[in-house]
Amino acid sequence: MNNQSKSDKKSIFQEFVDVALENLPLDVSPELRKKIIAIIDRFLGPIFQDIERRRLPRLALVGRTRSGKSSLINAIFGREVVKVGAVRSVTTGPEVVKWATLRDNNEDDEMIEILDTRGVQEGIPPEGAPAISSLESVMMAIREQTPDMFLFLEKATEVNAAVMSDLDTFAKCLRASKAIHDGKEMYPLVIGIPTQCDQLSPPGFWSVEDRQFYSAYWDADKDGIPRQGSHADFEYRLEKLDNIREAVSVWTQHLLKIPEISPLYNLKVSPTTAQMRFRVDKSLDTDARTDLRWNIEELKNLIMSELPSDAQIEFFRLARVKTGQHKYADKIILATSGICTAVGALPTPAGFDLPFLLGTQILQIMLIGFVSGRKLSWDTASEFLKASGLQAGAGFLLREGFRAAAKFIPVAGWLVSGGIAGGATLASGKLAVAYFIDGKKMTWEETKHSVENLISSNKGDG
C-alpha cells in the first residue's frame, strides 16, 4: 500500500485529539478532558482500527489463454492496468497491479494483489515466461501468496469444450490453497465466471438496451417477461438470455464435480462480458459501441461481499464499488455526528464547541474522501473545502487551531452550527459523499442551499 505508513495513519487520529484538547482552557478539569478523549475514541476508534488493519485483497484468476482474465481485471477497475494480447498469451505470471485511485495524474499509486495466472492450456508460451509448465506456474503463484478467492474463467461459448482437463488442473490449484481451521479443511471461495457472453448466439443483440434487458429479467420466468420491441427482436433477446443462463448452469455443474467445492459454502457463479476499449492516453472510451461490459458491477459487489473484512475497504476503494463506499461513508457520518452530539452535551467552556465541531467535520470530510479512493491526507479535505468555495486548507486550519477557523471561513456558518451539532455534521457528511463518491459538483450557492435544507431536515439529530 502506498497511502501512508501505519504510524502516519495513527498520527492523523492523534493530531485530531491533540488539537481538540489544545482548544480547552488550561483550567479545564482532567475529568472533562478524559470524557472528551473517551467520546472520540468510542466513536472514531473502530474506524481508525479498520484503516489500520486494512490490507490488500488477494484475487487469483485462473483460466485458459484468451479466456479474458486480463480484460476482466481491466473491467473491474475501469483502467488498463494489465496488457491484453491480440494473438499470443501475454501474461507471464502473477502480478502486483498498481492503481492510481485519485486521477490519472496522481503521483501515488495504490496497490491490489492480483494473481493473474497464465492460461492452463497454452499453445505458445508467453514471451519471457520461465521454462516450466503452466500448471507449475499456477501452483508456484498460489504457494507464494494464498488467495482470498479464486475467479475461474471460461468462455461462455466453451463451457462444454474439453473442460475436464481444466477442471482437473484447477482442482489441484484449489487443493494447494487448503487451510485447516478447527480441525476442518477449508478452501477459498470460487467464483465461476462464464466470460464473453456477448459471443453467445444469436449474433449481436448486445446494445445498451439489450444488456439492460438481460439484467432486468435474469431471474424472471419466461412467461412473465413483458414483450418489448418487435416480435423478432424480443424472441432473439429471449434466446440470448436463455443461452447465457444455460452457460451458467453448465459451468456450475462442471465446477461441482470438484469434491472440494460446495454450493453451500464456497461456490458462486457470475456471467460477464468485459470487452471495452482504452484511448491512447489510457482513459476509458465510454462510447456504447466499444464499451460492452455487462454484469461487472454485480460481480464487483459479489467479490466485495465475500472478501474478508480486512480486505473489503481497499477493494471498494480501488474498484470504486459505490455500495461499499456509501455504506462505510454512512458509518463515518454516524460516528462523527455522534461525537459532536455527545461533546455538545458536556459542560464545556464557552467557545469550545464550535471550533471542535468544525474540526470534527474536517476529519469527517477527509475520511469520506479516503473511502472514495483519495489519499488519507488533510489535502483530501482541503480539496472539498476549496471546491465548496472555502479557500483555507484543512491542514492549515488544524495547525492554526479550530478556533481560528472563523477568521478564514466567514461564509462557513453552516459548518459550525453549534446548536444543531449532530444535524450540521450529518449535512457536511452528505455533501462530502455527493462530492467524493457520487461525483456531484455544486456551486457555492447550490452547496449553501443544500446544506441549509439538510440541516433543517435533521434538526432533531443535534
pLDDT digits (tens, 9 = 90+) for 182-206: 667 788 999 999 999 999 999 999 9
Is residue 157 within 8 Å of 196, Cβ to Cβ?
Answer: yes
Residue 4 has pLDDT above 70, yes or no: no
pLDDT digits (tens, 9 = 90+) for 85-118: 444 444 545 443 332 232 333 345 555 777 766 5
**Rounded-to-integer distance, Cα 49 and Cα 232, Å:** 57
Lowest-confidence segment of 25-39, 97-111, 274-288 by average pLDDT? 97-111
Domains of the chain: 6-54+322-461 (no CATH), 58-306 (3.40.50.300)
> What is the four-CA torsion angle of 79, 82, 83, 87, rounded to 10 degrees?
-110
Residue whose C-alpha is closest to residue 64's, from 139, 114, 120, 126? 120
pLDDT digits (tens, 9 = 90+) for 122-166: 544 555 555 556 667 667 777 777 889 999 999 999 999 888 888
Residue 429 β-bridge partners: none
Lowest-confidence segment of 123-127, 227-231, 362-366, 412-416 by average pLDDT? 412-416
Positive or negative: CA dihedral 230, 236, 239, 245: negative
Residue 324 has pLDDT above 60, yes or no: yes
pLDDT digits (tens, 9 = 90+) for 209-222: 999 999 999 999 98
Over residues 24-35, the mean pLDDT reads 80
Question: For the whole model, what pTM was predicted?
Answer: 0.82
Residue 172 has pLDDT above 50, yes or no: yes
pLDDT number for residue 309: 93
**Rounded-to-integer distance, Cα 338 and Cα 53, Å:** 23
Placement of cell 459471443 in the chain? 199
pLDDT, greater one: 391 or 166: 166
> What is the four-CA torsion angle of 353, 355, 358, 359, rounded to 10 degrees?
-110
pLDDT, greater one: 187 or 3: 187
**Cell numbers given for 437:** 463518491
Rg (CA), the chain: 26
Over residues 22-41, the mean pLDDT reads 82
The three-point CA angle 433-99-285 to 5° equals 80
**Rounded-to-integer distance, Cα 126 and Cα 51, Å:** 39
For the chain, give the percent of residues with pLDDT over 70. 70
Nearest-10 crossing angle of helices 309-318, 353-371: 80
Per mean pLDDT, which of 165-179, 229-243, 408-422, 435-449 is the most reliable? Answer: 229-243
